[in-house]
C-alpha cells in the first residue's frame, strides 16, 4: 500500500493519541506522591512494548494487523482474533467518547443531555474517519502546537500563582507495592500498549523503521509530559487530593490565580483535553473500519464508517450507568481483560513467533541468512 504520511505527521498523530484522555484523569494517581516515579517506570517499560509492536511491522511491512494475525495463527484462529480486536476497538472508542461526554457535561454543557454531547463529538469523528488519515495527520500537525503552547502557558501561570508546595513530593519511593500496582497493568496498557491500534493502518503511514522511530519518540515525549504534570499536580494538590480527584489535572489548573485578573481557565484546559480525546476516538474508529475492511475484503472503508460510528455511540451510552461505574470498569476490569492480553501480550507473542519462524527459515538449506 502507498505510504501517505511523513515521519513528523506520524509522530504528531501518535503523540496526541497517546496523550488522549489520560491527561484528563491524570497518570499514576494511585501512587500518590510517587506518581511521577510510576510514570517514569511506565514510560521505560512502555517504550519496550512499543518497540515490540514496531518490530512486528518490520517483520511484516506489507500487512496490517488482521493479515498478520492470519499469517501467524492460521486462517481460522487469526479470523477469530481479528474479530476480538475489532470489537475491542469499538468498545474502547465508546469508552473514550463517554469520557468526553462526562467532561463536557460537567464543565462546558451542564444543561445539555450527555447523549447529545457525545453525538456532536461523534459527528466530527465520523467526518474525520470518512476524510481519511492524511487529513487528520495534517490537523495533528497544527493541533500539537496548540497543545504544547497552551500547556506551557498554563504551567507558567500555575507556577506564578504561588500555590505550589513541592515538599508534598517527599518522602519518595516509600511504597513500592502501590507503585508496582500502578505501573502494571494500567501504566503500560492505557497509553503505551494502545499503540497497537495503529497496526490496523500502519501500512498507510510510513515505513517500518520510520514508524518505529516516530512511535518511540512520541512515547518518550508523552512520558516526559506525564512526569512533569504529575510532579506539578502533586506539588499543587497534595498526594491525597491528587489520588482522589476525578480530574486531578483540571483541579490543578483551576487553582491558577494571577494578580486577581487571570483565573477561571476551565474552558481552555477542557479544550486541550477534548482535542486529545477526539483524536483518540478517531484513531480507534478508523482502525476499526480498517480492520473490518481487511477482514471482509471491503475496498473502501468509508462504506462502514457510519455503522461503526453508530456502534461506538451506543457503546458510550449503554455500557455505564454513571461516571463512578464507568471509572471503576475502566480502572479495574478493562486493563486486565482487554488491554493487557490484546494490546501487550499478544503482540509480544506474535513478535516471538515471527522471530522463530525467521530463524528457522534462515537455518534451512537455501534459506536467506
The count of domains in the chain is: 1
- CA torsion sign for 291, 127, 13, 266 is negative
Contact 265, 256 (CB under 8 A): yes
Give the number of residues written for the chain: 369
What is the pLDDT confidence band of residue 330, given thresholds at 50, 70 and 90?
Answer: confident
What is the pLDDT confidence band of residue 368, given thresholds at 50, 70 and 90?
Answer: low
Burial class (CB in 10 A: 0-12, 13-18, 19+), 3: middle
What is the pLDDT confidence band of residue 1, given thresholds at 50, 70 and 90?
Answer: very low
Residue 362 has pLDDT above 90, yes or no: no
Q: What is the CATH number of the domain that holds 105?
A: 1.20.1740.10
Query: What are 74's three cell numbers?
Result: 492460521
Residue 367 has pLDDT above 60, yes or no: no
Question: Which single residue is written with the C-alpha cell 520510520?
Answer: 210
Question: Pick from 289, 325, 309: which is nearest to 200 by CA?
Answer: 289
Question: Which single residue is written with the C-alpha cell 508546595?
Answer: 165
Q: Does residue 217 fall inside a structural domain?
A: yes
pLDDT at 281: 95
115-131 pLDDT tens trace: 999 999 999 999 999 99
CA angle, residues 137, 339, 299, in degrees to nearest 5 = 45
- What average pLDDT does the structure give for the chain? 88
Burial class (CB in 10 A: 0-12, 13-18, 19+), 356: exposed
- Other Cβ atoms within 10 Å of 338 Cβ, number: 18
pLDDT at 261: 61
Distances (CA, A) of 207 to 53, 97, 248, 362: 14, 30, 38, 24
Contact 36, 230 (CB under 8 A): yes
Question: Pick from 201, 193, 196: which is nearest to 286 by CA?
Answer: 201
Print the domain residue range for 171. 7-363
Residue 287 has pLDDT above 60, yes or no: yes
Separation between Cα atoms, residue 43 and residue 29, nearest integer Å = 15
Average pLDDT for 95-106: 90
What is the share, in percent, of the chain residues with pLDDT greater than 70? 95
Q: Does residue 330 fall inside a structural domain?
A: yes
Residue 24 has pLDDT above 80, yes or no: no
**3-state secondary structure (DSSP) of residue 161:** coil
Residue 192 has pLDDT above 70, yes or no: yes
Q: Does residue 369 fall inside a structural domain?
A: no
Amino acid at each position: 500500500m502507498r505510504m501517505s504520511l511523513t515521519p513528523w505527521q506520524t509522530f504528531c498523530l501518535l503523540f496526541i493519541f497517546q496523550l488522549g484522555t489520560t491527561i484528563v484523569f491524570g497518570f499514576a494517581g494511585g501512587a500518590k506522591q510517587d506518581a511521577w516515579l510510576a510514570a517514569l517506570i511506565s514510560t521505560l517499560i512502555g517504550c519496550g512494548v512499543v518497540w515490540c509492536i514496531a518490530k512486528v511491522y518490520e517483520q511484516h511491512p506489507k500487512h496490517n494487523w488482521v493479515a498478520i494475525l492470519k499469517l501467524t495463527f492460521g486462517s481460522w484462529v487469526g479470523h477469530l482474533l481479528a474479530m476480538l480486536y475489532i470489537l475491542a476497538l469499538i468498545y474502547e472508542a465508546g469508552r473514550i467518547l463517554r469520557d468526553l461526554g462526562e467532561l463536557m457535561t460537567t464543565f462546558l454543557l451542564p444543561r445539555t443531555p450527555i447523549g447529545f454531547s457525545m453525538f456532536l463529538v461523534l459527528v466530527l469523528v465520523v467526518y474525520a474517519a470518512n476524510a481519511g488519515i492524511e487529513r487528520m495527520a495534517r490537523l495533528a500537525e497544527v493541533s500539537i502546537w496548540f497543545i504544547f503552547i497552551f500547556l506551557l502557558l498554563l504551567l507558567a501561570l500555575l507556577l506564578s500563582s504561588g500555590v505550589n508546595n513541592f515538599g508534598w513530593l517527599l518522602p519518595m519511593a516509600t511504597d513500592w507495592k502501590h507503585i508496582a500496582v500502578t505501573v502494571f497493568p494500567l501504566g503500560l496498557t492505557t497509553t503505551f500498549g494502545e499503540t497497537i491500534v495503529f497496526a490496523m493502518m500502519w501500512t498507510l503511514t510510513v515505513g517500518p523503521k520510520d514508524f518505529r522511530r516516530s512511535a518511540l519518540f512520541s512515547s518518550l515525549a508523552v512520558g516526559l509530559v506525564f512526569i512533569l504534570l504529575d510532579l506539578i499536580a502533586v506539588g499543587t494538590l497534595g498526594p491525597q487530593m491528587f489520588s482522589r480527584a476525578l480530574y486531578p489535572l483540571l483541579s490543578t489548573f483551576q487553582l491558577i490565580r494571577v494578580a486577581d485578573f487571570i483565573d477561571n481557565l476551565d474552558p481552555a484546559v477542557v479544550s486541550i483535553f477534548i482535542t486529545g480525546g477526539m483524536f483518540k476516538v478517531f484513531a480507534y474508529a478508523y482502525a476499526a473500519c480498517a480492520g473490518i475492511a481487511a477482514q471482509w475484503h471491503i475496498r473502501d472503508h468509508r462504506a462502514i464508517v457510519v455503522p461503526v460510528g453508530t456502534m461506538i455511540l451506543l457503546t458510550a451510552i449503554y455500557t455505564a450507568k454513571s461516571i463512578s461505574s464507568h471509572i471503576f470498569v475502566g480502572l479495574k476490569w478493562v486493563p486486565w481483560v482487554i488491554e493487557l492480553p490484546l494490546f501487550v501480550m499478544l503482540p509480544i507473542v506474535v513478535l516471538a513467533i515471527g522471530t522463530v519462524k525467521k530463524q528457522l527459515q534462515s537455518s534451512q538449506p537455501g534459506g536467506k541468512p
